[in-house]
């Protein structure tokens, strides 16, 4: 199959208002299914991302469909927004199915504060956070550790950060996998990855990563919102970042190594970017071990950043974080491969589920959901970008049946970064947002131009598709008050 980006030429059959099918053909081992709407369809066809959905359907051991969420766009190997599950005995693991920013993810921190209480102190608060949380390309963090200590980070994740005083024990219960994915193997990580990772714990980075002070402006599910401690008019904080240069290097190393294993294991793939290895092979196990370490690095990273956000609030409001109600609602991963049990054709099977630009969305009653959320389903946090809305959703039983407990992860790009730089200027984006009442602090105006809201799909439409399809359900919507970008 061709992997060029001139526009998708294959068949797409409408299943219903929210789902389209790519029929199995050629070497495809299954159909492709894309969750999208008529409104979003033309963009993804131009992007040719459906071809990548079809390409993934060729991979050995795939179970169910090759899927994509409505925020789908072109990625490395897998589309961003792609979801695919593989049998642990017959299937493969692919770095292209996780991506370069391993465990890019989002956490939401609630407060007891109302919008009117924060607005007079917003600039001071934003500046305090900006000073406390290093942001920008290649920025070094405040945490200085040895290589041996970094190995502990890779094994323990967010728990390492909490043990070092960066947060509270109860934060772990509200973090996916309690902030530590089993199976991490520090010995599978390259020297170059260690070099890149050592100085970057507790840094926001650049690109689409951000830290936002937001107000809750709409509640859709009063019961679920109450369980999460969310209410209209309340101020919350969203942190969106991942594993920084460490995760990038882990992926880059694996792509190069697994490119040579395809021939070794006689694997037939339609695109070299889908380099992979059998899950049970030494190469597959080594990639998973390094990837799990990078995922844990990301959870430690977001944990440290949240700790400094709490300190900034304490500084601005002159009272403790507990009194201010600065509690973690939840933290979710967006780029990860995980071993999970799912029911397939009436029986439980252990699968390796790849979610690349997709969020776990387990339904009510699942044992992996924190006990206080088990009746409502797993919280799902969907970030917008700067001037756009963000959402809190919950996972559903239908997601368990249809999408291996997965849903969308954000808006999804429609412009490349180079096009955004041609179309807008960073200072214009900043001025426009501030006219709308959104304060912006950024290390680089170039990043503001690259991340202009026009560069993304309509997050409201994306969320509406997943809500109407039943694979997640809307709980609350937030709007930005202040934004920090790299």
Q: Which of 58, 240, 409, 467 is catalytic?
A: 409
206 contact partners, CB below 8 Å, separation of at least 6: 135, 136, 137, 443, 444, 447, 485, 486
The percent helix, strand, coil of the chain (3-state, each to 5) is 40, 25, 35
CA distance 181 to 335: 13
Give CA–CA dist 394/386, Å, rounded. 23
134 within 8 A of 288, measured Cβ to Cβ:
no
Query: What does R_g of the chain's alpha carbons equal in angstroms?
Result: 21
Which of 34, 35, 36, 92 has its CA nearest to residue 63? 92
CB-CB contact of 361 with 472 (8 Å): yes
Q: How many CB atoms lie within 10 A of CB 60?
A: 18
Paired sense of beta strands 472-485 and 439-442, if any: parallel
Question: In sequence order, what E strands does 228-375 have?
Answer: 234-241, 277-278, 327-333, 335-344, 347-356, 359-360
- How far apart CA 93 and CA 87 sit, in angstroms, is 10
Residue pair 66/299 in contact by the 8 Å Cβ criterion: no
* Residue 73 annotated as catalytic: no
CA pair distance 412, 283, nearest whole angstrom: 31
Q: For residues 182 and 201, what is the distance between their CA atoms, to the nearest angstrom?
A: 20
Instruction: Return the H-helix or E-strand segment holding 72.
Output: strand 62-73
Gap between the Cα atoms of 218 and 243, Å rounded: 31
Specify the pairing of strand 32-35 against strand 62-73.
Answer: parallel
Q: How far, CA to CA in Å, does 92 sit from each of 27, 318, 348?
A: 16, 53, 19
* Separation CA 363–CA 234 (nearest Å): 26
The conformation of residue 271, written as its DSSP 8-state character, comes to S
What is d(CA 139, CA 145) in angstroms, rounded to the nearest whole number? 16
Is the backbone of residue 249 left (phi > 0), alpha (psi -120 to 50) or beta?
alpha
- Cβ 269 vs Cβ 275: under 8 Å: yes
Q: So which residues are the catalytic ones?
A: 409
């Amino acid at each position: 199959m061709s992997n060029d980006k001139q526009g998708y030429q294959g068949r797409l059959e409408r299943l219903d208002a929210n789902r389209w099918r790519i029929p199995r053909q050629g070497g495809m081992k299954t159909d492709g299914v894309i969750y999208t709407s008529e409104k979003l369809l033309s963009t993804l066809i131009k992007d040719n991302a459906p071809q990548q959905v079809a390409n993934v359907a060729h991979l050995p051991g795939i179970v169910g469909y090759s899927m994509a969420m409505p925020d789908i766009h072109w990625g490395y190997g897998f589309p961003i927004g792609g979801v695919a599950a593989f049998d642990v005995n017959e299937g493969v693991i692919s770095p292209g199915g996780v991506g370069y920013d391993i465990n890019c993810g989002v956490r939401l921190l609630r407060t007891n504060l109302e919008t009117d209480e924060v607005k007079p102190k917003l600039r001071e608060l934003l500046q305090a956070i900006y000073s406390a949380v290093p942001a920008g390309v290649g920025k070094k963090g405040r945490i200085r550790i040895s290589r041996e200590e970094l190995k502990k980070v890779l094994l323990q994740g967010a728990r390492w950060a909490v043990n070092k005083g960066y947060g509270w024990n109860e934060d772990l219960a509200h973090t996916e996998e309690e902030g530590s994915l089993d199976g991490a193997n520090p010995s599978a990580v390259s020297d170059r990855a260690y070099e890149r990772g050592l100085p970057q714990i507790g840094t926001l980075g650049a690109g689409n990563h951000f830290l936002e002070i937001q107000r809750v402006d709409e509640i859709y599910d009063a019961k679920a919102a109450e369980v999460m401690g969310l209410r209209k008019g309340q101020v919350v904080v969203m942190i969106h970042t991942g594993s920084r240069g460490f995760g990038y290097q882990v992926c880059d190393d694996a792509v190069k190594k697994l490119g040579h294993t395809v021939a070794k294991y006689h694997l037939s793939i339609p695109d070299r970017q889908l380099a992979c290895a059998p899950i049970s092979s030494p190469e597959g196990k080594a990639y998973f071990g390094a990837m799990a370490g990078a995922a844990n690095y990301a959870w430690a990273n977001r944990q440290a950043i949240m700790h400094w956000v709490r300190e900034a609030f304490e500084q601005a409001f002159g009272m403790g974080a507990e009194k201010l109600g600065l509690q973690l609602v939840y933290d979710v991963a967006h780029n990860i491969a995980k071993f999970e049990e799912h029911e397939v054709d009436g029986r439980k099977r252990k699968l390796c589920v790849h979610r690349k630009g997709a969020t776990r969305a387990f339904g009510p009653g699942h044992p992996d959901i924190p006990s206080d959320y088990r009746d409502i389903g797993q919280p799902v946090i969907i970030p917008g970008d700067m001037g756009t809305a963000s959402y809190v959703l919950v996972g559903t039983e239908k997601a368990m049946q249809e999408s291996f407990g997965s849903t969308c992860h954000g808006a999804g790009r429609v412009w490349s970064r180079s096009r955004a730089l041609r179309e807008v200027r960073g200072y214009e984006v900043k001025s426009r947002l501030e006219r709308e009442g959104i304060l912006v602090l950024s290390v680089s105006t170039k990043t503001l131009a690259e991340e202009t809201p026009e560069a993304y799909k309509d997050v409201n439409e994306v969320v509406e598709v997943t809500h109407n399809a039943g694979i997640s359900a809307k709980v609350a919507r937030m709007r930005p008050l202040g934004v920090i970008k790299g």
